[in-house]
């Protein structure tokens, strides 16, 4: 399988990808914990069916020391005992924001309040930006049918 377009070969697309990557690096440099970033990125990508992002974030998390148990249980985080309350709040916010069209009124106040208990304003903004970023990346990759499986940790650094 190959992608529908090679975004790195199209000058205008390459420029957009570089700017998009810059936003991603801003999120990486944020005060949001790295483990939370990878778990949220993985969960959003699972919901959206973005295999290339699932591949990337699973491998990045593992390379950073994340356990296979926590990675394998992300899709069932509600029943899993391996996540902190803060991670659970972030995963819940990520799911609600990713499935925003499924719920009347957007993200429920009680979901937001659970996140506020664990993250300061800088971290919350990074978390919200990450969720929006991942939803955009997932949609781009799914539309363009980016193939998955060959990602190497650190490949885009």
Q: What is the CATH number of domain 32-144?
A: 1.20.1290.10
Closest to 73 in 3D by CA, of 83, 63, 85, 86: 83
Average pLDDT, the chain: 94
The CA distance from 91 to 46, in Å, is 12
Is the pLDDT reported for residue 2 higher than 90?
Answer: no
**Out of 7-16, 30-39, 61-70, 114-123, least confident range:** 7-16
Under DSSP, the state recorded for 102 is: G
pLDDT, tens digit, for every residue of 93-150?
999 999 998 877 789 999 999 999 999 999 999 999 999 999 999 999 999 999 898 9
pLDDT surpasses 90 at 157 = no
């Amino acid at each position: 399988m190959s992608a529908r377009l090679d975004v790195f070969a199209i000058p205008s697309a390459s420029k957009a990808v570089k700017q998009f990557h810059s936003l991603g690096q801003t999120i990486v440099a944020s005060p949001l914990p790295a483990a939370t970033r990878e778990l949220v990125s993985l969960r959003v990508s699972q919901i959206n069916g973005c295999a290339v992002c699932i591949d990337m974030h699973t491998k990045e998390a593992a390379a950073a020391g994340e356990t296979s148990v926590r990675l394998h249980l992300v899709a069932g985080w509600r029943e899993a005992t391996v996540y902190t309350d803060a991670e659970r709040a972030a995963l819940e916010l990520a799911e609600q924001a990713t499935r925003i069209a499924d719920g009347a009124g957007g993200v429920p106040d009680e979901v937001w309040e659970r996140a506020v208990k664990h993250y300061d304003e800088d971290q919350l903004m990074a978390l919200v930006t990450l969720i929006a970023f991942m939803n955009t990346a997932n949609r781009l990759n799914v539309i363009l049918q980016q193939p998955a499986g060959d990602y190497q940790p650190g490949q885009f650094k």
